[in-house]
Amino acid sequence: MNQRADTRLRNLRLAQRCGARNRAGQPCQCPAVRGRMRCRLHGGLSPGAPKGQANGKYTDGYFTAEAVAERRWAKSLVGAFAEKEKNG
């Protein structure tokens, strides 16, 4: 927190934006909490309960953490190949 005010404002402008939907259906776009995808109002400070069967709200099938991570990985691969294709 020893940054000058203009440096802090510039860093804030470059911050990851919150993608939570607001009441108008648009992304919130507040600066996300550092290292997270959501702002302080939309779960950035408290990302939820620990995962797993011991903590009640677990899912199976399409929405397990493993399945979601695998789809995210596959999507990143597609993006990487598309980027490679675009750049020659």
Q: Residue 56 and residue 3: Cα distance in Å, rounded?
A: 43
33 binds Zn ion (CB under 5 A): no
Position 37 contacts Zn ion (CB under 5 A): no
Asked if 18 interacts with Zn ion (CB under 5 A), we say yes
Q: How far is the CB of 24 from Zn ion (least distance, A)?
A: 13
Q: Name the CA dihedral angle for 79, 81, 82, 87, rounded to a multiple of 10 degrees.
A: 120
Q: Measured between alpha carbons, how far is 82 from 88 in angstroms, rounded to an integer? A: 10
39 exposure class (CB count in 10 Å sphere: 0-12, 13-18, 19+)? buried
Which of the stretches 3-11, 36-44, 64-72, 75-83 binds Zn ion when contact is defined by CB under 5 A?
36-44
CB of 74 to Zn ion, least distance (A): 27
Query: Which residues of the chain form contacts with Zn ion (CB under 5 A)?
Result: 18, 20, 28, 30, 39, 42
